[in-house]
Amino acid sequence: MLFAQRQGLFRPYHETVFQRFWSHDLELDELSDISDVIASVGGSAKEFEAYVHGAARAEHDRIIDEAEALGVFGVPTMVFNGELFWGGDRIDMLIERIHNPESIATALGSRHRK
């Protein structure tokens, strides 16, 4: 996904992976499968595989470390104004917070830090 984003291929990559994964037609752990997806949406499988065998691991680990420092531990997780929203059942709360950001004080009470 990170490679596809950099190449301007995120949307077709995402749509292809989503459709093929849920159709049980894609093994996410198989480099050749993902390389084929990259190639099918106009990317270079060779450049993708070089990325996987090069910078990808360090970038992945950095992103994981940053997420863990924010308190992220599952999906979906969203952060808005420093507040963590975890789980699909929290999306309505996030939307409310976006529309009414001052509601954080009511929601968190004495735990709210300005």
pLDDT value at residue 35: 98
Q: Same domain for 45 and 6?
A: yes
Q: Same domain for 46 and 97?
A: no
For residue 90, give its domain range: 77-111
Overall average pLDDT of the 53-75 stretch: 88
User: Is 5's pLDDT higher than 60?
Assistant: yes
- Domain-embedded: residue 100: yes
Structure-model confidence comparison of residues 25 and 76, the more confident one: 25
Overall average pLDDT of the 76-93 stretch: 85
Q: The pTM is what? A: 0.66
Q: Same domain for 81 and 52?
A: no
User: Is 110's pLDDT higher than 60?
Assistant: no
User: Is 99's pLDDT higher than 80?
Assistant: yes
User: Is 50's pLDDT higher than 80?
Assistant: yes
Inter-residue long-range contacts of 2-7, CB under 8 Å, 24+ positions, other chains counted = 2/56, 2/59, 2/60, 3/38, 3/43, 3/47, 3/48, 3/51, 3/52, 3/56, 4/38, 4/41, 4/43, 7/43
